[in-house]
Structure 1
Amino acid sequence: MSEANITAELRTEFGKGASRRARRDGKIPAVIYGHGEDPIHVTLPGHQTTMALRHMGTNAVLELSIEGKTQLALSKAVQVDPIRRVIEHIDFVAVRKGEKVHVDVPVHTTGEAAKETLVVLENATILVEAEATHIPEGIEVDIEGAEAGTQILAGQITLPKGTSLLSDAELLVVHVTAAPTAAQVEAELAEAEAEAGIEHDAPQAEADAAEEAPSEE
């Protein structure tokens, strides 16, 4: 994974008001933790940072230039406004080249399972250890031709070179089951509606009620 080089500015003002002003100026407030040092409060250029995180995805490593010094920073928590979908704040962990870090990496399935099956991703991420500058963007799990009943555990997944598993090897990641029949889907829907207290009038009952209704003539 390559790093994105971004110039950061040290923050001298704190609090909600200062953060709002920074965002109005097109900047993103952020904090860098780690290595036993005091947290470093910075602001980052909004557009450049957003594009870098969007391109690099989960576990992005940014190369931040702070007053002439370079600091590698691993994104750990990105706060996004639920309405405007803009980044409001980022928490980073300071890392060094060659340093091992523990990260949750997304799991993706590839291929097509056997016909009339349903592929269930029981765990969308697995915990691994990798070099800070070589974190895999995702872990691929091949399900080509997998039959109903197939279970793929974390310990069975092939990891990229230099990456080791930290999740329990017995953790169920992918489960291939038989696809439900139309009758099973209808039965589950009826059960769910019954639990929710939803009742449906029978067609004949509706017809009888229409016949008994007084005429307006």
Structure 2
Amino acid sequence: MKEAKLKAEIRNNAGRRNCSKLRAEGYIPGVIYSQGEDTQSIKLENKELNRIINRYGSTGTIDLEIADEITPVLIKEVQRHPIKDIVLHVDFQKLSADKKVRLRIPVAVQGRESVEVRTSGVIEQQLMEVELQCLPKFIPQYVTVDVSNLEFGDVIKLSDLDISKDENYEIFTELDEVIVSLTASSKHEEVEEKEVPIYESEKSILDE
């Protein structure tokens, strides 16, 4: 995938109070982890960070521009407020071009609406993400599943996707996991029960 670009600044003051002050000023605190290097504390503009997350998701790769230098990173964790659902803090992992990274990639279903209209059925998604390992240049934004040709009774497993056979990826999720299936809609017309007259029943109450 094409990396998103985002500007960041080094921050020297840590602590909850300073983080709260940053958020009030329109920034989000974050850190960059790197193997063999000190953890780097940064701040990012709230508006720009949310734009990137909304467009590319919260597990993608980003080119962070810090002091006119580009640092390729992976979003490792986005911490949100439990009630307001706003971003409070972001953890990044610095990437090396020659080192593989293990991560979870969300599954994106394509063609859901068209197949549900065509069949009057329902697409059920059972696998939401795939755990894999690859070099940074091969990190996908999504694992895409096309369901437009599904018929009733059909399922798509992880083993059916090209990514499961691609030598650039090591897949840790079980390959026989079902990703999606097409089932009948639960909306059935109620069948009116036919009332049986008393004289047509197998045993008349008059015989008792």
Pick the TM interval, shorter chain.
Answer: 0.7 to 0.9
Q: Tell me the residue number matched to 1:52.
A: 52
1:11 aligns with 2:5: no
Gaps spanning 5+ residues in structure 2: where? Answer: 191-208
SS in 2 for 1:43: strand
Q: Tell me the residue number matched to 1:166.
A: 172
Q: Tell me the residue number matched to 1:150.
A: 154
What is the CA-CA distance between 1:120 and the residue it aligns to?
0.7
1:35 aligns with 2:35: yes
Matches within 5 A, 1:70-85: 70-82=70-82, 84-85=84-85
SS in 2 for 1:17: helix
Q: Which amino acid is 1:7 matched to?
A: K
1:176 aligns with 2:188: no
* Change over 3 Å in CA distance of 1:97–1:24 after alignment to 2: same
What is the rounded CA distance, in whole Å, between the counterparts of 1:147 and 1:15 in structure 2? 55
* Change over 3 Å in CA distance of 1:6–1:58 after alignment to 2: closer
Please report the RMSD computed on the Cα atoms of aligned residues, expressed in angstroms: 2.6
Q: Tell me the residue number matched to 2:145.
A: 141
What is the rounded CA distance, in whole Å, between the counterparts of 1:157 and 1:167 in structure 2? 13
Percent identical: 24
Q: TM-score, normalization: structure 1?
A: 0.72
Does the 8 Å contact 2:28/2:88 carry over to 1? yes
1:106 aligns with 2:106: yes
Q: Cα deviation per residue 1:5-58 (whole Å; 9 max; x = unaligned)? A: 333222222221010011112111001113232321111222222222222223
What is the CA-CA distance between 1:101 and the residue it aligns to?
1.8
* Change over 3 Å in CA distance of 1:59–1:133 after alignment to 2: farther
1:120 to 116, 120, 124: 124
Q: How many residues of Structure 1 are paired with residues of Structure 2 in the alignment?
A: 184
Gaps spanning 5+ residues in structure 1: where? Answer: 185-217
SS in 2 for 1:18: helix
SS in 1 for 2:162: coil
What is the CA-CA distance between 1:100 and the residue it aligns to?
2.3
Q: TM-score, normalization: structure 2?
A: 0.75
Q: Tell me the residue number matched to 1:206.
A: none
Does the 8 Å contact 1:98/1:133 carry over to 2? no
* Change over 3 Å in CA distance of 1:46–1:144 after alignment to 2: closer
* Change over 3 Å in CA distance of 1:182–1:6 after alignment to 2: closer
